[in-house]
Amino acid sequence: MKIGIVCYPTYGGSGVLATELGIGLAKRGHEVHFITYKRPARLITFQENVFYHEVSGEDYPLFEYAPYETALASKLVEIVKFEKLDLLHVHYAIPHASVAYMAKKILLAEGKYVPFVTTLHGTDITLVGNNNTFAPVVTFSINKSDGVTAVSESLKKQTYDHFNIQNDIKVIYNFIDFGRFRKSDKDHFKKAIAPNGERILVHTSNFRKVKRVEDVIYIFKEVYHEIPSKLLLIGDGPERHHLEELCRKIGLCHEIRFLGKQDAIEELLAIADLFIMPSEMESFGLAALEAMACEVPVISTDVGGLPEVNIHGKTGFMSKVGDVESMAKNAINILSHDEILNKFRKNAMEQAKRFDIHEILPQYEAYYESVLKTAVW
């Protein structure tokens, strides 16, 4: 198949997943064309069968904002025609599904047919989508997609609850590549971070408010009082400055390290003992899955798709949003004995296997096939 992928090319979960999907599909013999405004962050090495087309974001003196949607629609039309694509797979309802619909209509007017699949990742539905400003476009573009997937049962339900959707939504979970995400020996690294054998807690995110990174710091504060430990904060985003100030205020700067954006997350997860995800909303929680694949148990909230990933009392624990006390208690419980920690580590890795890329990729392929068979002009 010749597949065009549209996504946000950032470090965010949807961009990561879309990029890994494209790379995985290319390895299975498909021709994959990424059509994005910047090279996707995870598209770092040359891959046979993978092509990248940049959407130019030129400013026009007349317009206050660069017309990105128009530029993307035009680029999709050009690439579908020139590269003879069979299908478009767009990640995020807005604006990508509505743009794909526009491109499809332009192509139809020229006698060329290309169906598009939309994958809902979460923020498009739970945070942005149910803002009334966007609701008509989100509803329309989901209903007009030739196929729709959601990354968890929870997100599927929320989409039906919030919007008037007539289309079927297929759940295809986030996936993990064990070729990359697995526990490896990084002892030298561990010694540098935790020279006295301290436990290492990790959080990765884009430091948006929805991630509640402040809670991570308060959970760590409690753990630190009971167990010698260090906290690694990986990523960057709007909350970072405020979080650095908080660490200073509570006097824990020397135990907490801000590592910024990192490409080789798996090397940091290799030395981690516990992953903290206290999000206010999480449609799946790809970062938690990456940790679990590296044998790191997860302390999380119980929102969205997290109960489909983190099994309470087995791969980690879940608590209510904002219940720092409960999350800290559970963290201390896991970290206080090697036998308990090791049992949780093993369970986390076993659960992660459910989301192995080799299980999930064929589900996308089968879905594309069914869309190509059934889609109507």
Tokens standing for residue 277: 């995800």
Query: CB-wise, 12 or 40, nearer to ligand GMT?
Result: 12
Residue from the set 141, 159, 174, 301 that interacts with ligand GMT by CB under 6 A:
174
Matching residue, tokens 């660490």 = 247
Q: Are 245 and 270 a contacting pair, CB within 8 Å?
A: no
Residue 99 CB, shortest distance to ligand GMT, in Å, is: 17
H or E stretch including 128? none
281 is an interface residue for ligand GMT by CB under 6 A: yes
Q: What is the DSSP letter of 237?
A: -
Q: How many residues bind ligand GMT (CB under 6 A)?
A: 20
Residue 86 CB, shortest distance to ligand GMT, in Å, is: 24
Cβ count near 195 (within 10 Å): 9
Any idea what the Cα angle at residue 188 is, between residues 327 and 270, rounded to 5°?
Answer: 40
Q: Are 98 and 128 a contacting pair, CB within 8 Å?
A: no
Matching residue, tokens 């308990």 = 340
Residue from the set 9, 129, 285, 297 that interacts with ligand GMT by CB under 6 A:
285
Query: CB-wise, 6 or 341, nearer to ligand GMT?
Result: 6
210 is an interface residue for ligand GMT by CB under 6 A: yes
Query: CB-wise, 139 or 279, nearer to ligand GMT?
Result: 279
2 to 21: interface string for ligand GMT, x by CB under 6 A:
----------xxxx-x----
151 is an interface residue for ligand GMT by CB under 6 A: yes
Return the sign of the alpha-carbon dihedral for residues 118, 41, 369, 78. positive
Residue 61 CB, shortest distance to ligand GMT, in Å, is: 32
122 is an interface residue for ligand GMT by CB under 6 A: yes
Peptide bond into 95 cis (omega under 30): yes
* Residues that bind ligand GMT in the complex, under the rule CB under 6 A: 12-15, 17, 121-123, 126, 151, 174, 206, 208, 210, 281-286
